[in-house]
Each structure stands twice: as C-alpha cells, then as structure tokens.
Structure 1
Amino acid sequence: MTRFSKRSARSLLSSFALFLISVTLTIGCSNPASNMQTSTNPGSQAASPAAGQVRLGFSAWPGWFPWQVSQEKGIFQQNNVSVDLKWFDGYLESINTLTAGQIDANSQTLGDTVSSMTGGADQVIVLVNDNSTGNDKVIVRDGINSVADLKGKKVAAEEGTVDHFLLLQGLRKAGLSPKDIQFVPLETGKAAAAFVGGQVDAVAVFAPFTTQALKRSGSKELFSSKEFPGAISDHLVFTRKFVDANPDKVQAMVDSWFATIDFINANSDAAIAIMAKRAGVSVEDYKQYADGTKIFTIAENLKAFQPGNDMTSLSFAATEMSKFLTEVGLAKSAPDTSKLLDDRFVKAYAQKAQKA
C-alpha cells in the first residue's frame, strides 16, 4: 500500500470518494528528518543482534521519536530488556526490513501493516503510539489561497504515502480530482526540497519535513490531517514469530513505552532536546509539533483495541483497510486481520499501573 501507481490512486477516488473522506488512510509517515540522507542499502542496518536483544526499527515521525528518549535515558534497561534501536533514514526501508525478518519490531502505520500482510507477512500490533492531528500537511506557495487554486499547479508528494492520500482527500473535498493537478511523485525529503527550491507549487509532507517546506518565503499551510481526524494511526508492530517466542520481551517493550511517556511528561525540556536532535530540528521547531501528534494514553490504547463500528476501533479500521486494498487492486483477496491485534500487553500494563 506504500507504492500506489497514479492510476491506482485515481481509480481510488472514482470508486471510493466518500470512503477517502471518512476512512482511515493509514499509509505511512515516511522517511527521515530534513537534514538526513536516505539509505540506499535496504536492510543494511539490520545486522545480527546480540543474544536476547530486541531489534526495534523507527524513523522520522514525532510519534516515534520517544524511542530515542527510551534509549538515552536507560528506560529499556530499567524494564529489563536489551534493545538494538535501529534508525532508518527511509521509512519504507524499515517496513521492508521487518517484513524480511531482519528486525523484530518496527514503528509503522496500520495501513502499511495490513498492506504487508497482503504480501504474506505475519505481523502483530501490540501498541498504539499516536494519531496524527495536524503534523501531516499540504503546504503551498504564495498566491495559492484555496484548494481550488491548486488546479493546474505542480504538487509534489511521495506517491502512496499518507501525505499523498491526505492530498487526495483534500482535492476530493473541494470537488477536484487528481487529474486537475500536475502531480510530481518525489520521495518526501526531495519533495520538500523541490518545493523550497521553487520547482513545484505545493507539497504534501509530514513533520519534520513540514519545517523544511515552510522555510520557503511566503509559503503556508493549506490544510492538514487536523481536518481529517482519526485518519492516521501509528503503532509498535512485531513479527508474530517474535511475539510467540518472547512475550516477556514484548511486554517489557510496551512497559518501556509508557514509562518513556511518563518521563517525557515529567521532564519535557530534557526529552524535547533529545527528540529534536534526533529529528534534526531546533527545540523551538520541535515544540511546534506538539499539537499535531496525539500520543495515546493507556486508556486510549485500551479503547482502540476494543471492537467497534467506526474508525476509532482498530479491528474495524483493519477490516475496512483490507476491503480497500482489494477494491483498488492492490491485493487479490482481503488479508485475514482477525489475529492482527494483540492487546494482552497493553492490558497487562494497565493492570500493573492500576495497582501501583
């Protein structure tokens, strides 16, 4: 689901116009911080781990930078788990590395996880990190003041990622179609650079690339994921093989995540400094991301794992995403998502927290 062709994306709009407006299009929060280079050797960072280590992948997204805090503040060790934390300059590379079994866990979206399952991957979501509430944006040059003004303009985005689909949703809501713009498919970092360089009129990117894009004189946000609530969820995803063999380590990872969020809440200045450095942006720039990413509490995690009939329920969202993949021709048949979610680790943490 990460690499749609333009034809598939356009077909999506004609077949699923309303679906795009209301359904979770959790495709990917891809790629690196604005001053980093994309790796050209997929899986190169996935060397053999030390005995007993958990190999965890993450990439540039505000909802995943807390893992850097976990590492630097010894929170993994405090929870008795050894972690080989692997930074990926390219989000897509991290997905492929997990699918290949070269890491044990990854930070990725619901949509990309379901998409991986269509190719035969056996993966498990054990935690909700966050929802995007504005950190995915469509940014435009001076003189473009409405979505209608995008007609005939050059608009860049990484094809098939969440920001491409955010763009499509915005177009549809304004009564436009993909063929009304000149779509320029570029990797996210290159898309932001092309916009700053004046090569395109608009760009769809996620934080921290939003900071880079907004450096263009006269540029501004046209719309964001804030206008499409619940559209982008991000998760801690393990291979099923690892979960079955190491439930104690999975529990320790979930415990570490919530301990990290507690640390960030109690020590915001120190934590933000760590996350801003990993993001490659200033502390002040990083603080601007706060309202654009909703970090899930334990209560919100428990609720998300419950069955439901709207997109706030992960099981409902996964089923709808499976249908979506099939309808647009990206999967021959809908994958079985009945075993995708495993809430026992979140529940166990909640019980421990309640007793504490």
Structure 2
Amino acid sequence: MKLRILAISMAIFMLIAAGCSNSSSEGAKEKDGGDAKKDTQTIKVAVQPWVGNGPFWIAEEKGIDEKHGIKIETVLFEQDSDMNAAFASDKVDVANLATHTTVRMKANQDLEMKAIIFMDESHDADAILATKDIQSVKDLKGQKVAFEEGATSELLLQQALSEEGMTLEDVETVFMPAAQAGLSMISGDVKTAVTYAPYINEVLDKKEDDGVHLLYTGKNSPGLISDIVVAKTKFFEDNPEAKEQLRAVWDEALQYWRDNEEEGNEIVAKGSGITADELPSILSGLKFYNSEEQAEKVSSGELKKAADNIQKLMLEAGSMKKEVNLDEIFDME
C-alpha cells in the first residue's frame, strides 16, 4: 500500500515539475522574444475632416496599417489651432499638416520635426471667390475679404495679392472660419471670400447664376497649398521603423483607393463628414502623391521652390519670427 502511495506521489510530482518547466520555458521565450507575438505599435495621427486624409482612413478601415506592423489611430480636430497644439504638446505622434503650418511652427516654436510624405496639393480645391463686379485681383483693393486667419486661405490670398504688388493691407480683412466665409458670400455680407472645398461648391451652386466666380485658385500657384505628414524628430529616433512603415501604408492605401474608387470614396466621405456624391467635384481639384510621384517632385526642385515661396510670403506678412533651413524639415528623398 505504501509503495502504491509512493508511486502515485512520484507521478504527481513529475507532472507538476513538467508543468513548471514548460511554464518557465514559455515565460523565457516571451521574455527573450522567442515565439511570443510582438505587439503592434499604435500611432496616433492628427487629422481634420478634409479629404486629403483619405488614405489614412482607408488604411484604418481595411487593415492596411497592420499589414505593415503598425496600428493607425486617427484623431480628429475641427480647427487648425487645436490640431497644432496637440501636435506641439505630444498629444499625438504624427500630424497631417499644411506645408505652410509646418514651416511656421518650426520658425515660431522651434520644433524639431521631419516631413516624410507629400500627401497632396490643391489646384481648384482652394479658391478666392468673387462677385461679378470683381474681375481681377487688382479689383480687390479696398474690398472686404472674408477668410480664416493663419490658414491656407490666408496664404492663397497673400500669393494672389503679391503677384499684383499688393499686400493684405490693401484689402479689408474679415476673419472667420472657412465654412463661414463661404456663407458670408451667400448672404451677401462680403463680395469676396477665400475658402476651400466643399464650401466652394456650396457657394457656386447657390450664387453662380448671380455672377459669383473663381477669381484665383491653387492652380495659379502649384504647390502653394499642400499637405504633408509630419512627426517630431525624436519620434523617429525612438521608432526608427515608423518612417518607412507610414510611407508603405500611405502608398498601399492610396493605390487601394485608386483601384477601388467607389468603396474608397464611401470611406473617405464618411471621414470627411460629407456624402460620397460630393466627393468627385472636390477630388477633381486635388492631386495626390505616392512615394514615386513625390520623389519626382523633390528631384525636379518643384517642392523646394514652393516651400521657399511659402516661407517668403510668411516672412513678408510677419507671421514667421525667423527664416528656417527648409532642408532640416523635409525628408522625402
């Protein structure tokens, strides 16, 4: 009887020891990174309800981000100022910013950052709208012009005026958000407004029969109104693989949209807060870039020329405290 009990006890001991051994072995594997699954890194990307962010919404929806080892979490902001503040204070990892905003933040806040993707540039998606009695930029002298201060609308107006030897001091500025600028034209409060799609289309749909027209658009100055993907330099130092992962996600998601236009439009419209029917007219005024197309823009010198011009305009307007070395910002070769 004692021998039988001893045998059973030994058997139980061996099973427990084997279990502990396996548990320790698995724990060691996880500790050493053996067979344990590596966690996917979540990257918070600041965006606004603008169709230019479309490929990132598609990447989230279709799981394209996780194919490249990251999980993109888009964080939506309604105003430029709120998004810029979140980026500056590290509430987000990455931000999809206007090129001029990036340059200005570098100059005024001394932020060390890198722009790694040239997302898009506006052709007819940003515009100065005017009534029929204003047929040239020179006619804006002394007129009320509604636009959002510090945003792309202000930059577009500055460029248009500078080409005629004029400045913002030659017009009566009326500051308001871009959506309201369009509404102020519809109501007749101003004769000129600077805004972007879909508000451009809204104004033209209601006032084109009254002679409201496009006076000046992004197409008149290629590259002036553009968007780029930016992160703090330290973020890329701490996450050396993130740069190529983000680029790969952008390229694949953009191609997916190009290959699956109807489905892609539904996803992007939802993210932008508009209907899919509104999207084609907006997209017709935009040009998106993948890595190969971006490289061509860089090598041709077009990107540098546009960035130099942006900096010049902001220095002249006093919205930048100092000139910056643009080569320290752009990492798009």
**Band of TM-score, shorter chain:** 0.7 to 0.9
Gaps of 5+ in 2: 1-38
1:133 to 123, 142, 149: 123
CA distance in 1, matches of 2:162, 2:328: 33
Map 1:8-27; keep pairs closer than 5 Å. Answer: none
Structure 2 residue aligned with 1:122: 112
Q: Percent identity?
A: 23
Shift of 1:171: 3.2
Letter paired with 2:101: D
Shift of 1:303: 2.7
CA distance in 1, matches of 2:47, 2:267: 15
Gaps of 5+ in 1: 1-49, 348-356
Matched, 1:260 2:253: yes
- Contact map agreement 2:128 2:193 (CA 8 A) in 1: yes
Matched, 1:334 2:323: yes
CA distance in 1, matches of 2:251, 2:221: 27
Structure 1 residue aligned with 2:173: 183
In structure 2, the CA distance between the partners of 1:177 and 1:64, relative to structure 1 (3 Å rule), is same
The 10-residue stretch of structure 1 (81-90 or 317-326) with the greater mean CA deviation from structure 2: 317-326
Letter paired with 2:282: Y
Shift of 1:57: 0.7
Matched, 1:202 2:192: yes
In structure 2, the CA distance between the partners of 1:51 and 1:100, relative to structure 1 (3 Å rule), is farther
CA distance in 1, matches of 2:55, 2:319: 33
TM-score, scaled relative to structure 1 = 0.73
TM-score, scaled relative to structure 2 = 0.78
Structure 1 residue aligned with 2:20: none
Structure 2 residue aligned with 1:75: 64
Structure 2 residue aligned with 1:57: 46
CA distance in 2, matches of 1:291, 1:91: 24
Matched, 1:276 2:269: yes
Matched, 1:156 2:149: no
Shift of 1:141: 3.2
Shift of 1:94: 1.2
> What secondary structure does 1:284 align onto?
coil
In structure 2, the CA distance between the partners of 1:334 and 1:261, relative to structure 1 (3 Å rule), is same
Matched, 1:245 2:235: no
In structure 2, the CA distance between the partners of 1:304 and 1:201, relative to structure 1 (3 Å rule), is same
Give the 4+ runs in structure 1 shifted more than 6 A: none
CA distance in 1, matches of 2:276, 2:318: 43
- Contact map agreement 2:41 2:71 (CA 8 A) in 1: yes
In structure 2, the CA distance between the partners of 1:195 and 1:121, relative to structure 1 (3 Å rule), is same
CA distance in 1, matches of 2:132, 2:316: 38
Map 1:204-243; keep pairs closer than 5 Å. Answer: 204-217=194-207, 218=210, 219-243=212-236
In structure 2, the CA distance between the partners of 1:146 and 1:260, relative to structure 1 (3 Å rule), is same
Q: Deviations over 1:237-296 (max 9, x none)?
A: 011111111122332221110001110111001111222232233323210122311111
Structure 2 residue aligned with 1:34: none
CA distance in 1, matches of 2:80, 2:48: 6
- Contact map agreement 1:141 1:201 (CA 8 A) in 2: yes
Shift of 1:77: 1.9
Map 1:336-355; keep pairs closer than 5 Å. Answer: 336-343=325-332
The 10-residue stretch of structure 1 (322-331 or 230-239) with the greater mean CA deviation from structure 2: 322-331
> What secondary structure does 2:267 align onto?
helix
Structure 1 residue aligned with 2:96: 107
In structure 2, the CA distance between the partners of 1:103 and 1:153, relative to structure 1 (3 Å rule), is same
Structure 1 residue aligned with 2:297: 304
In structure 2, the CA distance between the partners of 1:142 and 1:285, relative to structure 1 (3 Å rule), is farther
Shift of 1:92: 2.5
Shift of 1:132: 1.3
Structure number with greater Rg is: 2
CA distance in 2, matches of 1:146, 1:161: 23
> What secondary structure does 1:289 align onto?
helix
